[in-house]
Amino acid sequence: MNLPIYLDNQATTRLDPRVLEAMMPYLTEVYGNAASRSHSFGWAAEQAVDAARGQIAKLIGASPKEIVFTSGATESNNLAIKGVVEAAMSGGPETRGAPHIVTQATEHKAVLDVCAWLGGQGCRVTVLPVDGEGRVRMDDLRRVVEEEKPLLVSMMTANNEIGTIQPVDEIGALCHEHDVLFHTDAAQAVGKIRVDVGRGLVDLLSISGHKIYGPKGVGALYVRRRNPRIAVAEQMHGGGHERGLRSGTLNVAGIVGLGKACELAAAEMESEAERLGALRDRLQGRLEAGLEHLRVNGAAGDAGKGQRLPGNLNVTFAGVDSESLMMGLRDVALSSGSACTSAAIEPSHVLRALGLSEEEAHSSIRFGLGRFNTEEEMDFVAERVVDVVRKLREMSPAYADMT
């Protein structure tokens, strides 16, 4: 076992060696521009891009023509939400009112900040609360959709901090029943749980390569082409690449890597989910056996485990500051929240939305298990966490008051 141990796989994953092997020729020998159609270098690059488009589409049940390459899920979210709003506002006088967007409180900042920006541009934005496990209340969503007929609902498939899986099919069915578009940020879900846009319930879906053992800096947006065809206004201009939806020279090597990562996920997802779920339960069991006064955040209990990403475990350790805990675990890579907000001192907006107090949110740690973790590592981490938590609690007046 090598130290440090990496348990921050919701922030990013290690590049799978098989993905790197697939990418290497396109970093060295096959270096043409996929838009150069006058010579063999460009043709080879274009063929590689088309093959990757097919691999990604197969994983999520889409057509290759519905896959638009981006730099990652943040750009995909921006293109989906801003693009739909702009397309609607340019559709004619009858569509130029203030578009209404609905999302939920536990979304990634790549969605919440986009919605907030659009709110400043005159759009109406509704941010729905979630229940204690981080799941949107369907009655709340149904009321807004039926009464207000928003343009777009954007809700993530699985949460990056607590792993809670949303009822995507139910949300999509509700939206389509009322002619409302549905976008989902599936960066954490694709390749880890089954995601199928072929059922016709999702209109736009965001993917990121580095969440599924692919390279950083590459992602994709699924855009439905029929029944209905979704209109999206491009947000990057210059060249009309990706059928006019996203201009810019394609990152061929990165796209090849994303395609290979999706191919591997399609082949190994079920066995990997089973293995990661067992590792997570092993870690959780050892923590609960060694410590009192801890709680699992998100979908908890035996019934809840199936409604949470198999590699996610978010735990609140009463009376312990998470930053102090992580300082005491220098040989374990952990996180107290989203990687995009880990430099912030405010408590996690996701945990606060679940009803945790500010103190409880500051006492929470995310364990993100991944493809390369082992049972030996889980046992080591559990032992180290139990030891450090006990020591911190001995020095904590707040914990003494609790007990």
CATH value at residue 279: 3.90.1150.10
CATH number of residue 249's parent domain: 3.40.640.10
In 160-287, the DSSP E strands lie at 181-185, 204-208, 219-223
Q: What pLDDT shows up at residue 30?
A: 95
pTM of the model: 0.95
| Judgement on whether residues 196 and 108 belong to the same structural domain of the protein | yes
Here the tokens at position 209 are: 């390569």
| Judgement on whether residues 126 and 247 belong to the same structural domain of the protein | yes
| Judgement on whether residues 226 and 338 belong to the same structural domain of the protein | no
| Judgement on whether residues 256 and 277 belong to the same structural domain of the protein | no
Q: What pLDDT shows up at residue 339?
A: 54
| Judgement on whether residues 38 and 169 belong to the same structural domain of the protein | yes
Catalytic residue list: 340
Q: What pLDDT shows up at residue 402?
A: 80
Q: Which residue from 90, 71, 43, 403 is spatially nearest to 247, judged by alpha carbons?
A: 71
Cross-strand bridge partners of residue 67: 222
| Judgement on whether residues 90 and 162 belong to the same structural domain of the protein | yes
| Judgement on whether residues 303 and 255 belong to the same structural domain of the protein | no
Element (H, E) at 126: strand 124-128
| Judgement on whether residues 174 and 272 belong to the same structural domain of the protein | no
**Of the residues 262, 289, 317, which one is the last residue of a structural domain?**
262
Tell me which residue range forms the domain holding 362: 5-12+268-402
pLDDT tens for the 403 residues of the chain, in order: 899 999 999 999 999 999 999 999 999 999 999 999 999 999 999 999 999 999 999 999 999 999 999 999 999 999 999 999 999 998 654 455 689 999 999 999 999 999 999 999 999 999 999 999 999 999 999 999 999 999 999 999 999 999 999 999 999 999 999 999 999 999 999 999 999 999 999 999 999 999 999 999 999 999 999 999 999 999 999 989 998 899 999 999 999 999 999 999 999 999 999 999 999 999 999 999 999 999 999 988 776 678 999 999 999 999 999 999 999 999 999 998 755 555 556 899 999 999 999 999 999 999 999 999 999 999 999 999 999 999 999 998 878 778 7
Number of domains in the chain: 2
Q: What pLDDT shows up at residue 158?
A: 98
Q: What pLDDT shows up at residue 69?
A: 98
Q: Which residue from 193, 177, 380, 366 is spatially nearest to 276, judged by alpha carbons?
A: 193
How many C-beta atoms lie closer than 10 Å to residue 65's C-beta? 12
Q: Which amino acid, one-letter code, is at 299?
A: A
**Of the residues 234, 262, 290, which one is the last residue of a structural domain?**
262
Q: Which residue from 110, 127, 107, 108 is spatially nearest to 119, judged by alpha carbons?
A: 127
| Judgement on whether residues 215 and 276 belong to the same structural domain of the protein | no
| Judgement on whether residues 279 and 235 belong to the same structural domain of the protein | no
| Judgement on whether residues 59 and 147 belong to the same structural domain of the protein | yes
Q: What pLDDT shows up at residue 93?
A: 47
**Of the residues 245, 262, 279, which one is the last residue of a structural domain?**
262
| Judgement on whether residues 193 and 104 belong to the same structural domain of the protein | yes
